Chain A
Amino acid sequence: MNFEDTPQEAAFRAKARAWLEKNARLRPADEIAPNLLGERESADVIQRAKDWQTKKFDEGWAVLTWPTEYGGQGLGRLEAVVWGQEEAKFDVPPNIYAIGHGMLGPTIMAHGSDEQKQKYVREMARGQVVWCQLFSEPDAGSDLAGLRTSAVKDGNDWVINGQKIWSTGAHFSDYGMIVTRSDTNAPKHAGLTYFIVDMHAKGVEVRPIKQINGGSGFNEVFFSDVRVPDANRLGGVGDGWRVAITTLMNERVAIGAGGGAGRFKDLLKLARATKRGGRPAIEDSAVRQKLADFYIRSKGLQFTGYRTLSALSRGATPGPEGSIGKAVGAPLGQEMASFAMELQGVLGAVNDRGVSPQDALWQEMYLGTPGIRIAGGTDEILKNIIAERVLRLPPEIRVDKDRPFREIPTGSVKG
């Protein structure tokens, strides 16, 4: 049991820090780190993000845990955490690779052919090309295996038709990973096939969707007779569900606690700066109790994450702890934002960076965190997963599991 850096970790931290100091601006302690939830980044920001990634790649600081043959550094997850902690202290462009590097790269490495791995993974690490995840559909979100976008074999190609939705970053992506239905006579999980698609191909149309926070980080993506070579198939025909599961398993780890847990210090600052009954809010015992509760849960989540890492770095599969992060962390972030706005009293209603405390950080967070509770598995789905996979409680009753897909009834969200 040791919470401190080992000598190797300390040396790695110092090296990372030195490189960052040479190449980026250290954010002063009193500067609020920007809130990056679903902004529609400008072409200029995207290019800066890509250039930062390529610089890291060229100098040995990109995708640290990936094997060297794919552009990584073959390092452990603990080093990646150390790197992340240090990089977060610097003013660097937004990370537009959470999906590609966190989920899609690992999926190609796990299921791709040698040719696919050679062709895509290194380029993905270098970052001049960006990838998106094309899973959800208007009628298939939590019930992802209910998806309907069709893939029909035609010679050496597949022809894809249908609609994907909520595709984060599709508007600046060059490639996407898509799950399609290739057989409607098979039961729903058995008729799926997974592909890599070129987002610039003919028949792919990306339309932004405006989110509740005014940003447009995600999109609708329409496929009209899009031809995809069979060489782009990942895994076997009809084996798409298994491949998709790899992506989803990585997704929960990649999303992690998301948003709230790292903001405690900002919340404490706010409680000191705002007044209640003429006195600093921090002197109010109800406020103190709440703050303590947030601190305790945030820390507990952070250490739970470290437990997972400790298990992983010894080569064990992550314990149950892995699935707790997002299930607890996402609602916690929303609760913290809500409380921060309450602390602001009437100013809670002001969403004006010039007037609202801390550059309207909390207003933006309160508008952003509901998305985190839905993306990558809703709170409810995650609790089902903890209950079934970790606690081994009986699965949900499935009325559609063994029937041919085309016979399954459906309702629609459109209205």
Chain B
Amino acid sequence: MNLEFSEDQKFVQHTAREFLAKNAGLDVCRKVLESKTATSDPGLWKGVAEMGWLGAVVPEDLGGAGLGHLELVLIAEEIGRSLAPIPFSTSVYLATEAILLFGNDAQKQQWLPRLASGEVVGTFALAEGAGEPDLASVATRFENGKLNGTKLPVFDAADAGVAIVVSQGAQGPVLALAELAGKHVEKTALESFDPSRTLAKLVFCDAPAERLGDGGGAAAIETLLDRAAVMTGFEQIGGATRAFEITREFTLGRYAFGRPIASFQAVKHRLAELYAQIEIARSNGYYAAWALSTGNEELALAACSFRAAASEAFEKAGEEMIQLHGGVGFTWEYDCHLFYRRAKWLSASLGTPSAWREKLIQRLEAKGAALVDDGE
């Protein structure tokens, strides 16, 4: 047993941190957030593509970097730290990952090089309105090469040229691949809780589409969601950690009653609790990353645990960040709300913590007697 990343993997992370420190300061996020027109930062998207991150796990002969998922989750953590205003998570962990996992050769040839180079942005369309998305009740139809239905909200859709659409085929849920240009797809922007990341409504009206490989089926789609949950979880851990660090610094520099507020026990204990919550989520993440990278069947449980823990840790970090900053934390000018918004946006993006907890219990029940307690 060894729960540490290798030196090579840590180097990838270090490089990512340096690159993002230079190219994705919080001002970059804020600029998109405050803009009426910008949907992302195109320069940063290009830079990230040049770093090879968009195709991190895409094989080299398809234009990717040929890295593994252990490297990708560390890049994800850094993206999360920076609050990069780019459609990274949806394009990389969902669209690209789906084509990698399930696409046929022609689809891989056609799309992976363009996704890896950043020329095309991919999105993933699952939800159809209120509530937690659930595969059985998806109403969008995929028949005879045509998609019909409404998807809402679709995350990171503004700049997307291609979508992986969860739809109902003749024999249950399938993944369909659809280009988003053309008159058969209507895209309407929605106001986003985190305006540095976009949301849209997509209406498919006899939109031409093709089945992704042999279409997946419910089990395959669940696996895709599990894998994406782990990668997104690392973004959330990154965001939570950064929020924590900024807050810690602030409490050391802010004085009240003649001493730094960080010296008040109530403040110290809150920071200690937040820190513990983040680290415990991170530990679940290490387990999930290992299961993801090795294809271990434990992924089914590990993804649920980690995703719920990471979502809650980031949300909590955003809440504590504002509270411990006091009045300035509630101002538009300070960066606290950037974290607060991103945390909630990411939580909702793939199913909320309670949805993942429910899924976890379903899976634990299915495991039944095979469940062992090996906790210390």
Hey, which bits of chain A sit against chain B, CB under 8 A? 1-6, 9, 29, 78, 81, 84-85, 256-257, 261-266, 268, 282, 285, 288-289, 291-293, 295-307, 309-311, 313-314, 320-321, 324, 327-328, 380, 383-384, 386-388, 390-391, 393-397
Q: How far is the CA of A303 from the CA of B293 in the complex (A)?
A: 17
Q: How far is the CB of B247 from chain A (nearest CB, A)?
A: 11
Which residues does chain B contribute within 8 Å of A314, judged by CB atoms?
Answer: 4
Q: Beyond A289-B354, A387-B272: 6 further Cβ-contacts under 8 Å?
A: A81-B376, A296-B309, A306-B3, A310-B4, A324-B276, A393-B267
Residue in A9, A264, A265, A387 whose beta carbon sits within 8 Å of that of B268 in the complex: A387
Determine the chain A residues whose CB is within 8 A of the CB of B35 once the complex forms. none
Q: How distant is the Cα of A299 from the Cα of B291 in the complex, in angstroms?
A: 14
Residues of A with C-beta under 8 A to B91: none
Which B residues are in CB contact (< 8 Å) with A84?
376
Asked if B268 contacts A306 (CB within 8 A), the reply is no
| Complex-state Cα separation, A265 to B364, whole angstroms | 10
Contact (Cβ within 8 A) B373 A292: no
CB-CB under 8 A from A263, the residues of chain B are 373
B32-49: which have CB < 8 Å to A?
none
Q: Which 4 A-B pairs have the closest CB atoms?
A: A292-B357, A300-B280, A387-B268, A303-B283
Whether B272 pairs with A386 at a CB distance below 8 angstroms is yes
A391 with B358: in contact, given A1-B70, A261-B376 (CB under 8 Å)?
Answer: no
Interface residues of B in 107-164 (CB under 8 A from A): none
| Residues of B close to A388: CB separation below 8 A | 268
Say whether B373 contacts A262, CB under 8 Å. yes
- One of B3, B269, B357, B372 near A1 (C-beta < 8 A): B3
A19 to B375, CA, bound (A): 22
Task: Indicate if the CB atoms of B275 and A268 lie closer than 8 Å.
Answer: no
Q: A307 is contacted by which of B3, B369, B376 (Cβ under 8 Å)?
A: B3
- Residues of A with C-beta under 8 A to B60: none
CB-defined contacts of B252 to chain A, threshold 8 Å = 393-394
B331 at the interface (CB under 8 A from A): no
- Taking a contact as CB atoms under 8 Å apart, the answer to whether B272 and A321 are in contact is no
Chain A nearest CB: distance from B190 CB in Å? 29
Cβ–Cβ contact A307 & B283, under 8 A: yes
Highest count of chain A CB atoms <10 Å: which of B1, B4, B298? B1
Chain A residue nearest to B289 (CB atoms) is A1
Known: A288-B358, A288-B361, A295-B364. A265 touches B373 (CB 8 A): yes
Interface residues of B in 272-287 (CB under 8 A from A): 272-273, 275-276, 279-281, 283-284, 286-287
Please name 26 pairs of A and B residues whose Cβ atoms are closer than 8 Å in the assembled complex, sorted by A. Answer: A1-B5, A3-B290, A3-B291, A84-B376, A256-B376, A257-B375, A261-B375, A265-B372, A268-B364, A268-B371, A292-B357, A295-B364, A297-B280, A297-B309, A299-B284, A300-B284, A303-B287, A307-B3, A310-B2, A327-B276, A383-B269, A384-B269, A386-B275, A390-B275, A391-B275, A393-B271
> Taking the nearest CB of chain A, how far is it from the CB of B104, in angstroms?
31
Residues of A within 8 A of B70 (CB): 1
| B259 CB within 8 Å of chain A | yes
| Residues in chain B near residue A292, CB distance under 8 A | 304, 308, 356-358, 360-361
Give B contacts to A, CB under 8 Å.
Answer: 1-6, 9, 70, 248, 251-252, 259-260, 262-263, 265, 267-269, 271-273, 275-276, 279-281, 283-284, 286-287, 289-291, 293, 298, 304-305, 308-309, 354, 356-358, 360-361, 364-365, 369, 371-376
Which secondary structure characterizes the binding site on chain B?
helix
Closest CB in chain A relative to B312 CB, distance in Å: 9
Pair B305/A299 contact, Cβ less than 8 Å: yes
- Least Cβ–Cβ distance between A311 and chain B, in angstroms: 7
A396 vs B375: C-alpha distance when bound (angstroms): 34
Out of A9, A78, A305, A391, which one reaches B376, CB within 8 Å?
Answer: A305
Task: Please judge, given known A-B contacts A9-B1, A383-B272, A391-B271, whether A264 and B290 are in contact too, CB under 8 Å.
Answer: no
- Given known A-B contacts A265-B373, A393-B252, A310 and B3 have beta carbons under 8 A apart: yes
Contact of A298 among B259, B262, B375 (CB under 8 A): B375
Question: Which residues of chain B are within 8 angstroms of A9 by Cβ–Cβ distance?
Answer: 1
Instruction: Tell which of A6, A78, A328 has the most Cβ of chain B within 10 Å.
Output: A328
A397 CA to B2 CA, complexed, in Å: 40
With A261-B375, A397-B263 known to touch, is A387 a contact of B309 (CB < 8 Å)? no
C-alpha gap A310/B356 in the complex (Å): 29
Q: Are A6 and B1 in contact (CB under 8 A)?
A: yes
A9 to B268, CA, bound (A): 40
Task: Please report the C-alpha to C-alpha distance between residue A341 and residue B79 in the assembled complex, in whole angstroms.
Answer: 44
Cα-based distance from A386 to B275 in the complex (angstroms)? 9
Q: Do the beta carbons of B248 and A1 come within 8 Å of each other?
A: no
Q: Which residues of B contact A306 (CB under 8 A)?
A: 1, 3, 283
Chain B residue numbers with a CB within 8 Å of A393 are 248, 251-252, 262-263, 267-268, 271
Q: A372 CB to closest chain B CB, in angstroms?
A: 13
**Is the Cβ of B374 less than 8 Å from the Cβ of A394?**
no
**Quick one: which of B248, B357, B360, B365 contacts A391, CB cutoff 8 A?**
B248
List B contacts of A298 (CB < 8 A): 375
Q: Could you tell me the distance between the alpha carbons of A401 and B251 in the complex, rounded to whole angstroms? A: 25
Find A296's partner among B251, B286, B308 (CB 8 Å cutoff): B308
> Is the beta-carbon distance between A301 and B280 smaller than 8 angstroms?
yes
Cα–Cα, bound, A33→B260 (Å): 49
Chain B residues, CB < 8 A from A78: 1
Task: Give the residues in chain A near B373, CB-CB below 8 Å.
Answer: 262-266
Q: In the complex the two chains form, is A3's CB within 8 Å of B287's CB?
A: yes
Q: Is the CB of B279 within 8 A of A324?
A: yes
The CA of A379 and the CA of B177, in the complex, are separated in Å by: 53
Across the interface, do B376 and A1 meet the contact criterion of CB distance under 8 Å?
no
Chain A nearest CB: distance from B362 CB in Å? 8
User: A304 to chain B: which residues have CB within 8 Å?
Assistant: 279-280, 283
Could you say which residues of chain B place their CB within 8 Å of the CB of A300?
280-281, 283-284, 305, 309
Contact B365 A282 (CB under 8 A): yes
Q: Give the complex CA separation of A397 and B265 in angstroms.
A: 10
Say whether A383 contacts B372, CB under 8 Å. no
Shortest beta-carbon distance from B324 to chain A in Å: 12
When chains A and B are docked, how far (Å) is the Cα of A302 from the Cα of B267?
27
B357 lies within 8 A of A394 (CB): no
Report how far A328 CA is from B70 CA in the complex, Å.
28
Residues of B within 8 A of A386 (CB): 272, 275-276
Q: In whole angstroms, how far apart are the Cα atoms of A285 and B287 in the complex?
A: 26
Nearest B residue (CB) for A380: B269
Q: Given A1-B289, A303-B286, A391-B248 in contact, is the A328-B1 Cβ separation under 8 Å?
A: no
Inter-chain CA distance A380–B266, complex, in Å, is 10
Chain A residues with Cβ below 8 Å from B260 are: 394
**B252: nearest residue on chain A (CB-CB)?**
A393
Instruction: Say yes or no: B374 contacts A85, CB within 8 Å.
Output: yes
CA distance A264 to B374 in the complex (A): 10
Q: Which residue of B lies closest to A2 (CB)?
A: B2
B251: chain A residues within 8 A (beta carbon):
393
Is A384 within 8 A of B358, CB to CB?
A: no
How many angstroms from the CA of A212 to the CA of B203 in the assembled complex?
64
Contact of A29 among B269, B369, B376 (CB under 8 A): B369
